[in-house]
Chain A
Amino acid sequence: DAGVIQSPRHEVTEMGQEVTLRCKPISGHDYLFWYRQTMMRGLELLIYFNNNVPIDDSGMPEDRFSAKMPNASFSTLKIQPSEPRDSAVYFCASSPKGLVGNTIYFGEGSWLTVV
């Protein structure tokens, strides 16, 4: 089975440009997560969805960040306008339905550099 698929794997963009990161979760998984990883702050949860509905977006850093999940097989994380401090690895992850102890499966990450 295919895992969580993210694109692009690497992106270098100029400050002020719009960045869109894409994610295809594992088929049949009801939960989708966006995480950000930096040296300074480690892994942070940005937002997660259940059945395409955003449940908790308290980790989204500011209004420049937005995330959507138009259907069960696709999600985007958008940064507009981008800033150098947004440089990080962004991970998408998915998890099947259920409660305690369900494993979260991670994609390989999107490595973003804003110059």
Chain B
Amino acid sequence: AQSVTQLDSHVSVSEGTPVLLRCNYSSSYSPSLFWYVQHPNKGLQLLLKYTSAATLVKGINGFEAEFKKSETSFHLTKPSAHMSDAAEYFCVVSDMRTGRRALTFGSGTRLQVQP
């Protein structure tokens, strides 16, 4: 079975400082991993995805994530936070070999950006 754990429910940073949102996954096979962002009262938008190509994945809005198989981690980072980054972030795993097509979502990390 696949699962994903987001290690922090809330993260608060100051504008202009780095962002780190942590995610660990569990999967029986080589997974696909995603980060989605949800702004208040909005749907979910894909930030980036890993699908067994390069382990460092670059996404939109300056975000990137590194797949580390040995640590079963897929942490999301950004060098400098912007006020508009304040949102809920979801780490997601998809394990196609289970035959189950859909995604498994983490519980989410709420990012606050202080001025």
Interface size on A, residues (CB 8 A): 24
Contacts of A55 in B (CB 8 A): 101
Known: A91-B43, A107-B43, A108-B43. Is A100-B102 also a contact (CB below 8 A)? no
Cβ < 8 Å to A, chain B residues 17-51? 32, 34, 36, 41-46, 49-51
Interface stretch of the complex, out of B60-68, B70-78, B103-111: B103-111
Contact between B103 and A45, CB atoms less than 8 A apart? yes
Interface of A is mostly: strand
Contact between A50 and B101, CB atoms less than 8 A apart? yes
Interface size for chain B: under 10, 10 to 19, 20 to 34, or 35 or more residues?
20 to 34
Q: Does A61 belong to the interface (CB within 8 Å)? A: no
**Quick one: which of B43, B49, B108 contacts A103, CB cutoff 8 A?**
B49
Contact between B32 and A91, CB atoms less than 8 A apart? no
Q: Does B90 belong to the interface (CB within 8 Å)? A: yes
Contacts of B100 in A (CB 8 A): 56
Sorted from nearest, which 10 A-B pairs have the closest CB atoms?
A101-B51, A101-B32, A43-B105, A106-B43, A106-B44, A108-B43, A100-B96, A45-B102, A42-B107, A99-B96
Q: Which residues of B contact A (CB under 8 A)?
A: 32, 34, 36, 41-46, 49-52, 90, 94, 96, 100-103, 105-108
